[in-house]
Structure 1
Amino acid sequence: MRHRRQPRIAALLLAGLLTAACQQEPPPPPAPPQNGYGATERAFVELAIATDEQALKLVALDDNPSLVENRETELAELRKLLDAPYVNNHAGHDMPGMPTDAEIQLASDSPDARKQFVHAHLTESLEVLRSAGSAITHPPTAEVVKLMERHRTAELAAG
């Protein structure tokens, strides 16, 4: 008789626990970071650093010192935003605005390819920046996004 009560008691306890658990409210979503620098900002900064590091290799081949200066300025500002050591999680990726090693190699041998790849970097990264601008809420990161947008817009206008 003892064996029959234990399963019934266990079933009643389990039912009671499930009922209590189902009546509880779900936990609140995690609070945003105190300073507003969250996962979106961190992801943007890491991507922008990786993109600018690759772009710097490409624009260094061009005869336009302002392109190099702008990428170096952006990299300095982006690194100031980091809240942890930088790890390039995008090495070797083929993403909009990020020149690949193969493109950089081709650009080093062909002025036409260089012009095409620089233009692609500028237009594609400008699209990424515009998208990021609507998602970034951390004011210092938003300022860097605006700086980068100004650079790309001016660089495209200059040809």
Structure 2
Amino acid sequence: MRQAAAVVPAGALLVVALLVGGCAGSAAPPPTIGGTPGGAAPADPGPAANPPGTPGSSSPFNGTDIAWLQLTVAMHERVLPLLDLVPERTTEPAVRQLAARVRDTHRADLVRSRRLLDRSGAPKTNPHEGHDMPGMMTANELNALGTVSDAEFRRLFGQHLREHLEQSVRIAGAEQRAGADRETTALAAAIVRTGTEYLTQLDGLHAE
């Protein structure tokens, strides 16, 4: 999975710091915080830091809420094809069962994330379209899974899913600490909880 310089909406500075490189293919420098590149992010960026098209000070959402929701949608959309591939690429029951549980949870998370973005008034665009970021499979990685053996598929599946879940839990934790909208931070808490549970189940698969 690729890692390069970050380009995300202004006002999501804590999320930017946790992207560990952010969007691939961009040469933009890291955001400047308080005049110092890479400085500490404020807990609430405030209306002046909100990206264009996001609500002002009267909104319960801040920039971190919106950026986290946008990134969560992009990450979940990218991992679903991997999860959908499992039934045709492996006969291992435990792997198939885990993939089905993660897939169902992620689809439900996507519904909630999109509804919250609609409520926030954020632009109906994906700022991460075409970007390969930490926690996201690349198209080449997904295509390669169509030709490997069952055992190799299970190994790569575990690797890719782990990277996705670890990054999802990491940025959801940041949203819990810095987000403003209660329903959005509640979704982040749920993603931390289920993501941690699925990581434990992955550990169990490798221990067998």
TM-score interval, normalised by the smaller of the two chains: 0.7 to 0.9
User: What is the distance in 2 between the residues matched to 1:128 and 1:100?
Assistant: 19
Deviations 1:95-123 (A, max 9, x none): 12222222222233331222211111111
Question: Which amino acid in structure 2 is aligned with residue 78 of structure 1?
Answer: S
Higher helix share: 1
Q: Which structure's CA Rg is the greater one?
A: 1
Are 1:134 and 2:177 counterparts? yes
Match of 1:124 among 162, 167, 171: 167
Aligned residue-pair number: 131
Deviation at 1:131, TM superposition (A): 2.1
Contact 2:76/2:106 (8 A) holds in 1? yes
CA RMSD of aligned residues (A): 1.9
| Alignment TM-score, normalising by the size of structure 1 | 0.73
User: What is the distance in 2 between the residues matched to 1:51 and 1:67?
Assistant: 13
Deviation at 1:147, TM superposition (A): 1.3
**What's the counterpart of residue 71 of structure 1?**
106
Unmatched 5+ stretches in structure 2: 1-45, 49-55, 87-95, 203-208
Question: Which amino acid in structure 2 is aligned with residue 106 of structure 1?
Answer: A
Contact 2:62/2:179 (8 A) holds in 1? no
Match of 2:68 among 10, 30, 44: 44
User: What is the distance in 2 between the residues matched to 1:132 and 1:80?
Assistant: 17
Are 1:101 and 2:125 counterparts? no
| Change beyond 3 A, Cα 1:70–1:41 | same
SS where residue 85 of structure 2 aligns? coil
